[in-house]
Structure formats: C-alpha cells, structure tokens
Structure 1
C-alpha cells in the first residue's frame, strides 16, 4: 500500500519547480494533492495532468498571495476540492525572491517578499490548523540562504522568519497534543531550469561546493518532504533539514 494512501495534502506554489516536484511525489505516495498556484493556471493544470497520468489524484486551487483575502480564497478553494475530507499535510512552498540587497531593496519589494514568504504561510497555518486531522504534517520550505550568506538580504530574512515559525509552532499547544509535526526543509541551489544553471561553469562550481559533488534537483527536495510527511516521521518535529547536499560544510579534504 502507498505510504500516504488516504491522506490529503496542500502544496503551495505547486505549478512549477520544487513545488511541482513535491506535489507529484506526494501524489505518487498515495495522497490526494491540492495543487496551489498564484496566477499561472496553465502550469498548474500541467502539474495536475502529470499526476493524473500516473494514476494519482490532484486538483488545482488558485489564490494569489500578497493581496487582500489571499488566505481565505485559498482555504475556500481547498475545502471545495477536499469535500468532506480533512487536511493531513500542508507544505508551505510558495515564495518570491528577486533583488533584495541593502542597495537594491525598495519598501514595496520588501513588503511583497514578507507578504508572500512569511505572512501568507503564517496565516494559512492559522486558518487551516484547526481543521487539520490529528497526526498531520506541516512542512515549510526555507532556504540555505539562512546559513550561506548571499546578496539576497531581504529574501534571507524572510526564510529566517520561516525557520523560527517552524520551531515555535512545533512546541505550540495547537500541535503537540494532536500529534501534528512541524518541520522545515532548507534546499540549496536547485536546478529548476533557470537560465543561470544552463551555464556549465556555474553548474560545475556549484557542484564542487557540495559534499556530494552535484547540483540538487527538485526531486531531491520532494524526497525529503515525502519522508517528513510519512507516518515513520511521526517522532520528528521542530527540526530543520539541510537539504543542500552538504554545501559549504568546510574544506574538502583530499580534493
């Protein structure tokens, strides 16, 4: 039997990249997956079609984060899609980035990053947690930029807030007595088809910075999420999984 048979999941930002891989993996594991998207309905439909083509179950749900009523719009769409089934797994993956160093950031861009990357997942958890079934899973997708300093200051700040949210919520009265776990996955550079990763020198340099000597893939992150979503991970909570392939751990001895 599939390890997530009978479970339901919501993956935010699931129309492409890491979110798409997570949605496909959870569906392959047996879950009914709500594929959230902001504005690209065609991409979300492609994700749903890919899941159904492999015998999985999924449906799209639309809500643009960072606008008035975003969380309620998503919650209502989710409830309509799930029907009488409650939610078992919430994966907060949706995020925006962009130029966010001290010199480039504007108040508008700052507010947008925090609205989508921090405010939306916080209030989505607040909205959905009361109706989540006991033994549920909340998995937040953070980033290695909270450990590895890159010129994306505001983006890194938003992910640092998400890390803190996970640990605090894991110790909250709202989750512990119900067996709901809360964990965070922090990916390193992942080849999602971005033009930057079509440049051989960048790919080679990034691979050499990892202990495993390769670029990460969306499927690598999906596998980590799958593990945390499973019954076997029921004793793991309040943790951050560094899913970077061992990036910048220290000097490479013998290399």
Structure 2
C-alpha cells in the first residue's frame, strides 16, 4: 500500500471512530435544551451551596438516638421484606423452572416475574398506601413484591441448572413434587439461594430508606421530616446515619456471602 492509500485508510479508520460523536453531540445539545439545563445557576449570585454547607458541617448530634431508632426500623423493614420476598420468589421460581413445572406454568410465571421487574418499588408502595394507609406494613409488602423480579429469576435459573438425573431419580421412586423440592432441589441450590437472598437484603436496605421517605417510616421518614422543616443540621445526622447503615449492610452482606462460599474470615469481606 502506497503512502496516499495508507493515509486514506487511516482517515477512514479515524472517521469510523469519530462518527458516533458527531451524531451523539447534537442529540445531547437537544436533550439539554429539552430538559431546560441552565448553567447560569452556578453563577456566584445564585450559588447558595456554601451557605447550606455551613449548616451541614455542624450536625445536631442530640438527635442521634432518634436517628438510630429510625435506622433500626429501616433494617427490620428490609429483613421482613426480604424474608417474605424470598418465600414468594421461590414459589414463582418453582413454576418458572422448566424441569419442575409444565410449559404453560413456565410461561405464566416468567411473564409475571418479568412484569414485576418493570414496576418500580415506589409505584408499588404508592398503590399499597392507598389500600393500607401509611406505615411500615405497606413497606414490607412493597419490598416483598419487589424481590420477585430479581430473586424469582435467579432461583428459577438455579433450579434449571440441577442435573435432570437428580429430579428424574426421585420421580422414578414415586416422590411427590413437594418431596422432589425438599430432597432434590433444596440441597442443590441452597448455596445459590442463600447468597442471592443476602445480596437482595443489601439492596433492600437502600430501598427501605427510599420507601421510608414515601410513607413507610424509618430513617427515610426522619430525613424527609428534617428537610421539610429546613433543619439541615438534623439532615446531616440523618445522612451520616444512612451512609453508615448502607456501608455496614454492604460489608456484612459481603462477609455472609463469602461465608456461604466457604471463606470464613471477616478480613476477606473488606
């Protein structure tokens, strides 16, 4: 290839790399205009973040006991929601697994699992608040329902990976479906089931904070209340409590999952 041909080849190669940018950049400009992005808010005369930070830098530690009690309610909300959600998810997973249930049941269960994944927890709890009113109970139900989309699919996939010989061997000796689940399915997927449930608990802790601000109580409600009263020093304590809660749940979740996999040392969780 001569020099001119090599230059044309190099230009074509560079153009193939750059043409997505020329398409994306006008789209970003149009999107910024559509959502009314205004960079003038960062001008010094409108920039009030420094005044707000001065309040956040002096947390009202006297409200810490209240925040800790609220955080414990958030944890209980996540625990109850995860327990009930894992039970519901396993029920759907049994019918979604092709090696346990007929095809019509597989399709219906898979559709319901996929449908749940498309619905936000916020929408679920708003509907439940209309039905049950404010409180932790709608939050528990919302978290339990939100588990189905994730855990139902993971449980079903784990069940389908069980060797066919295991299930057929139990069926050949006259085992009922319940016996197949208890003595054939549970021993095979126990590790995956526990690990995925612990992972979902970690997610549910963060979800509980959000649902608490909507009406389920807990630390999310305390954060929203401080915001409504413009009590930024109390908001600072609430935010620090939430950060500590999320960090602790992530570390404990990692330790528990590694313990399930046979790594028992706490140091490996960090």
* TM surpasses 0.5: no
Bigger-Rg structure (1/2): 2
Alignment TM class, shorter chain as reference: under 0.3
For normalisation by structure 2, the TM-score amounts to 0.24
